[in-house]
Homo-oligomer: A and B are copies of this chain.
Amino acid sequence: MLDKSHRKPGQIVHSEAPFNAEPRLDRLRRSFLTPEENFYVRSHGDIPDLEADGYRLTVGGMVATELSFTLAELMERFPNRSVIATMQCAGNRRADLHRHRPVSGDPWEPGAIGNARWTGIALCDVLRAAGVDERQELHVAFESHDVVEQDGERFRFGVSIAMEKALDPDTLLATHMNDAPLPAEHGRPLRLVVPGFAGVRSPKWLASITIQDAPSSNPMQAEDYKLFPSHLSKETADPSDAPAIEALPINAAICEPAAGAKLPAGETTVRGYAVACDRLIRRVDVSADGGESWTQAELSGDPDAPFAWMFWTTRLDLAPGAHELVVRAWDAAGQTQPSRPEHVWNFKGYLGSCWHRVTVTVT
């Protein structure tokens, strides 16, 4: 465990142990690739203090040959690969759901998201080196070095993904984030990066990979991070009946101005992000009157980065008084977001992906 504070300037810290923090939204909106100091941190246990020296990754289960690699062996043997991908916590914007009706878990604002260039090697190359059984009905399970303490039990963090996603060449074993070695908080020395999936499916501090015929039985896979219908509660929900959260719905947020801002009369620049998992964002609409009327924002992004967010900007001429600013995004399938938190509410507070609303006052 690291013996230092993980705090960065301008962070909203939800808990120190495990360390969970997100950036202020104006900081998040500063650059298309999110620097480490503005990248949210979601930990489920203590942050392991692993060095590249002495690190090993094992590959086992339904493979022809069980393998074990040092970090140097992995990097030497397999071709280097990069992907720009937005990482987003399944609990991003939980605070919006909580304000409607209480939910469990840290009250993340819209900052539990970040975009980075991830570099390392393709998971599929490592799996094939081990002679993986590639049948689509199989699962690739991961166990990490971090220890989770939950409901009186202690266990290592673990999840799984379906074989098809594991074999996607953009699913990486990453050693670098924005061209620098992974910081401890983000999984040093090696993490998985599953573009388009919720952050929970991209485990950090990776210890082992196991090919198996069922999803991981780890509580992180089998019990947590499930999407329940709105009529169920902790007491009535059966996790074995609910789908594991993998791909994420459309999300968008207003990063500037901040909620509660007092603004001078005249033109105000409104900025934010929008993201749609594995689909492109096609349009972003902004309203200054709670969603009665809309204007189209300008988009900017990287056309070669289909798993990355887009940034949007518009200018609004606001009269004195209070204004509810609203954003909604549309993806390449003409899909848009639900309007209200009650339309996506669930007792675990996941996938808070309704229209984002920010009230400001013009003086």
Contacts and interface: CB of A to CB of B under 8 A. Distances in A.
Contact of A249 (B248, B296, B336): B336
Contacts of A247: 332-334
A337 interface: yes
A227 B339 contact: no
A340 B230 CA distance: 19
Interface string A47-58: 000000000000
Interface string A241-282: 001011111100000000000000000000000000110001
Contacts of A296: 229, 231
A249 B294 contact: no
A90 B248 CA distance: 25
A230 B334 contact: no
A340 B332 CA distance: 20
A249 to B, nearest CB: 4
Interface in A282-308: 282-283, 285, 293-296
Number of identical protomers: 2
A315 to B, nearest CB: 16
Contact of A230 (B227, B248, B294, B339): B294
Contacts of A338: 336-339
A355 to B, nearest CB: 9
Main secondary structure of the interface of A (DSSP, over half): loop
Contacts of A104: none
Q: Which of A247, A250, A335 has the most chain B CB atoms closer than 10 A to its own CB?
A: A335
B343 A294 contact: no
For chain A, the bracket of interface size reads 35 or more
A200 interface: no
A74 interface: no
Contacts of A250: 335
A295 B332 CA distance: 30
A344 interface: yes
A333 B248 contact: yes
A282 B249 CA distance: 13
Nearest to A335: B249
A333 B351 CA distance: 10
Nearest to A196: B333
Contacts of A343: 328, 336, 339
Given A247-B334, A339-B339, 18 more contacts: A227-B330, A229-B283, A229-B296, A230-B294, A231-B293, A231-B294, A243-B332, A246-B332, A247-B332, A248-B333, A249-B334, A250-B335, A328-B343, A334-B350, A336-B343, A336-B344, A337-B338, A338-B339
Interface of A: 227, 229-231, 243, 245-250, 277-278, 282-283, 285, 293-296, 328, 330, 332-340, 343-344, 350-351, 353
6 contacts: A230-B294, A231-B293, A247-B334, A248-B334, A335-B335, A339-B340
